Structure 1
Amino acid sequence: MSTLQKTLHPDEKIKAGKLGKKLVVAGLGIAVLFLGLSIIFTLITGTANSGHASKWSRFLHSYVIGWSYIFSLSVGMLWLIILHFLVRGRWVTAVRRICEAMATAMPIIFIAGLGFIIPLLAGYEDLYYWAHPHAKTDHHLAFKLGWLSSEFFAARFVIYGIGFTALAAYFAKKSRQQDETGDPKISETLRIASGPAMILFAVLT
């Protein structure tokens, strides 16, 4: 019997249900709590004389680093899912649902990314060197300012967000569809889709 003719194991159809929703709400609550505490501490202790141009500079730099770390985990899980189908691997099956859960957090992650995109569009100059007005006179950046402009930076951010979210949503949707129908042919569909998906992933990254 070929791999595509095998039926799904009953354990693969177990869903988190209400527990999953509670975990999502709890996670978001914890994130909002610590974000609020960070803002409060910035307002209380932040000074413009601590080696930063403004008291928000340290907060935003830390925010970008934290956001990049979480994003790297999510995008890494998405890459693992695509690679899993591309090479017909079996070694990811045990953690595939975890990877899908982390990858489908893309919309929340990119919404959180607006926390540094909006200040950048509003004219905040201390987050990136190229955002400073004097960067226009830097001959090293003379041919890069079009790419590094705040507006185009934000536009790319939106494009990346849509692209990664679409990839994660497609593979997760097909995976749930396979759970509900038990159709093993969906694995072959995802394998075929994984080739173009990996190319798109490479372009986005």
Structure 2
Amino acid sequence: MNRREFVRTAGGVAGGTAALSASGAAAAQEGGNESGGGGGGGTPDFGGFLDGVGNFDGSVTDATGQDSATVEVGVQANGGAYGFGPPAIHVDNGATVQWEWTGEGGGHNVVSDGDGPLDSDTYSESGVHYEQTFEEDGIYPYVCEPHQSLGMKGAVVVGTDYATAGGDGEGSVETLAPEEAGVPIQPHFVGIATGLAIIVSLIFTFFTLKYGESPHTSGGND
């Protein structure tokens, strides 16, 4: 192999490595825009359902990482013992929520607002009378039917795929690290490409100074 072929080969390797690094970066960026998993991200969008609920201040109680969580039924809110406490709670997919009646405010129940899995009987005595295990991500709004008009409402946020305020309503977005997106860590490729580029530049300089010509000058030995 003559010097011109050697330089051409080295330059091709450097260019190919740089292109691979760029494609890896693009793949990581594309992978990082996938929606789904891992801890959720963003404020749940309740669509105004909890507006006017006396004990809802916009915050959601975080009960993720727990197998079960408890919501009290008949806490002080909305002018009496007509609230769920907390009114909004976030649990993992597969977690169980238990509703514990305080025994205050008369008879209460827990019923999904619209379609949904929640449908308890009405109880007035204290104790845990109802529970539900959630196995699908989303937001589950519910009411106490006897006191719905007073603002006795609540919501359970489940998992990571749920509508977020200011989002597109399709769930939270997680940014993945390059290795999690299935591509190599790019700094390795960038370093290799940079090193090869420096070597090629040195070769050009060496041949130019020693032979008085650029390796790409026509007329050299093939």
Please confirm whether the aligned pair reaches a TM-score higher than 0.5, indicating the same fold.
Answer: no
Larger CA Rg, structure 1 vs 2 = 2
* Structure (1/2) with the larger helix percentage: 1
Q: Normalising by structure 2, what TM-score?
A: 0.25
Q: Normalising by structure 1, what TM-score?
A: 0.26
